[in-house]
Amino acid sequence: MKKLLLGCIADDFTGATDLANNLVRAGMRVVQTIGLPDQPLAADIDAVVVALKSRTLPVDQAIAQSLAALHWLQAQGAQQIYFKYCSTFDSTAQGNIGPVTEALMDALAPLPGSDFSIATPAFPDNQRTVFKGHLFVGEVLLHESGMQNHPLTPMTDANLVRVLQAQCRRKVGLIDYTVVAQGAAAVQARMATLREQGVGIAIVDAISNDDLLRLAPALKTMPLLTGGSGLAIGLPANFGITPSSTASALPPATGWQAVVSGSCSLATNRQVQAFIQAGHPAFALDALQIAEKEAAGMDVAAEVLAWAIPKLGQGPVLVYSSADPTVVKAVQAQLGVEKAGALVERTLAAIARALVQHGVRQLVVAGGETSGACVQALAIQHMKIGPQIDPGVPWCYAQTEAANPEGIHLTLKSGNFGTDDFFSKAFARLA
């Protein structure tokens, strides 16, 4: 394999896909790994995104996993490291954004320039902007965006210099909008000044894609970059790469088509209804029924498979547990939130696996947690990132023993992504 250009470490699964998608759109050939790979990658690619699940781990574990990912990426020859976190800067008072950033900087210390790094969650395409160090979500500041009530990572301060400083030993500074607007040379001059002032990490303002594109050339030789997925749009050009359709090329699609949906988000519920209205066969799963059938020793996945097999030859089928919030709440009250979620995830993952074993080779999965469960059930270790279907959601291609030797095309759609006709659009995109 040729040397990797960009080695990325993402702190969650769907965020990793989001970053990979932006890199592909800017022309890089990208593979996303599910967790830390246990061997070198064979493919000739430009960037790897290692998807960890480290966002809310205890700090020491998040650091250990991130360093292991760093060492693996360095062994692949990665020329620059990118630590990717959420565009709403999801972190606790302890971290993990600050501590992981510093651990990576420490580990990269022999390299020139590793005494300084930047942090920007700006993702203007997704309404995340940073101005005077403050993070906006749409029209409002981060701490008024709903993120102040997040169950795991409540964000109660929009001032990112302050938020990151509370997590860091190094001094945190700011490269503000007036500097970014002047372009890369001004950014570099500002970085030199900050260095003299003893600053180790700078929050960078960006309110538009143009800002991110102006910023990127100033980052060309920085060993470590940190940010949301937006920062990625300008980086491929630093390696002389321009957008091209070959970056997203996947092997031709084969086999039958299916959608497995465990997301109860508003957008997914609309997508499920639109797909049914378009005349496609659909099997609705009810969490309470699953629990009853399992208690009676019945195999729900086998039942769904028996329903699907005669239909697969005629076009895509849909299996869904997606339901209105009132229905889900009632189920959760009876089974418990975690138990209901785990039961449905396990069932849908078994169904996805059975469908692939019986010839489905184009699989749409709706739901972040549901996607994680399906990828695990299919024992997928890495995916080549292909063309975008809707913002943040690309088709991917993966090898799995259930689909030997041709592999499968799959797309993993988190909750509120995608237009109402997403499922039909996805299959059309692949054709």
What are the residues binding ligand ADP (CB under 6 A)? 262-265, 268, 287, 321, 323, 328, 331, 340-341, 344-345, 367-370, 414-415
Question: Do residues 213 and 120 touch, judged by C-beta distance below 8 A?
Answer: no
Closer to ligand ADP by Cβ: residue 259 or 344: 344
Nearest distance, CB of residue 123 and ligand ADP, angstroms: 18
Closer to ligand ADP by Cβ: residue 111 or 327: 327
Closer to ligand ADP by Cβ: residue 122 or 343: 343
Question: Do residues 218 and 184 touch, judged by C-beta distance below 8 A?
Answer: yes
Determine the longest span between alpha carbons in the chain, in angstroms. 70
Angle at 177 between CA 172 and CA 179, to 5 degrees: 85
Nearest distance, CB of residue 412 and ligand ADP, angstroms: 9
Closer to ligand ADP by Cβ: residue 20 or 212: 20
CA proximity to 263, closest of 378, 380, 341: 341
Closer to ligand ADP by Cβ: residue 164 or 335: 335
Question: Do residues 428 and 315 touch, judged by C-beta distance below 8 A?
Answer: no
Nearest distance, CB of residue 287 and ligand ADP, angstroms: 4
Q: How many CB atoms lie within 10 A of CB 186?
A: 16
Nearest distance, CB of residue 160 and ligand ADP, angstroms: 26
Q: Please tell me the distance from the alpha carbon of residue 256 to that of residue 363, in angstroms, as a whole number.
A: 8
Closer to ligand ADP by Cβ: residue 200 or 341: 341
Closer to ligand ADP by Cβ: residue 247 or 344: 344
* Main-chain dihedrals φ then ψ at residue 178, nearest 5 degrees: -65, -30
Q: Which two tokens stand for residue 97?
A: 């954004």
Nearest distance, CB of residue 100 and ligand ADP, angstroms: 23
Alpha helices (H) along 216-299 = 266-277, 287-295
Those residues whose C-beta lies under 8 Å from the C-beta of residue 335, and which sit 6 or more positions away, are 287, 288, 291, 343
Q: Please tell me the distance from the alpha carbon of residue 34 to that of residue 48, in angstroms, as a whole number.
A: 11
Nearest distance, CB of residue 331 and ligand ADP, angstroms: 4
Nearest distance, CB of residue 365 and ligand ADP, angstroms: 9
Closer to ligand ADP by Cβ: residue 265 or 424: 265
Nearest distance, CB of residue 57 and ligand ADP, angstroms: 18
Nearest distance, CB of residue 357 and ligand ADP, angstroms: 21
Token pair 């996303």 in the structure block, residue: 32
Residue nearest to ligand ADP (CB): 367
Closer to ligand ADP by Cβ: residue 316 or 367: 367
Looking at the DSSP bridge assignments, the partners of residue 190 are: none
Q: Please tell me the distance from the alpha carbon of residue 145 to that of residue 153, in angstroms, as a whole number.
A: 13
Q: 255 vs 252, 266, 282, 366, 403, CA distance in Å?
A: 10, 30, 19, 20, 10
Alpha helices (H) along 197-336 = 209-215, 266-277, 287-295, 300-312, 325-335
Closer to ligand ADP by Cβ: residue 145 or 263: 263
Q: Please tell me the distance from the alpha carbon of residue 283 to that of residue 301, in angstroms, as a whole number.
A: 11
Closer to ligand ADP by Cβ: residue 97 or 340: 340
CA proximity to 413, closest of 353, 371, 355: 371
Nearest distance, CB of residue 349 and ligand ADP, angstroms: 9
Nearest distance, CB of residue 156 and ligand ADP, angstroms: 23
User: What is 113-156 written as a DSSP string?
Assistant: TTT-EEEE--BGGGTEEEETTEEEETTEEGGGTTGGG-SSS---
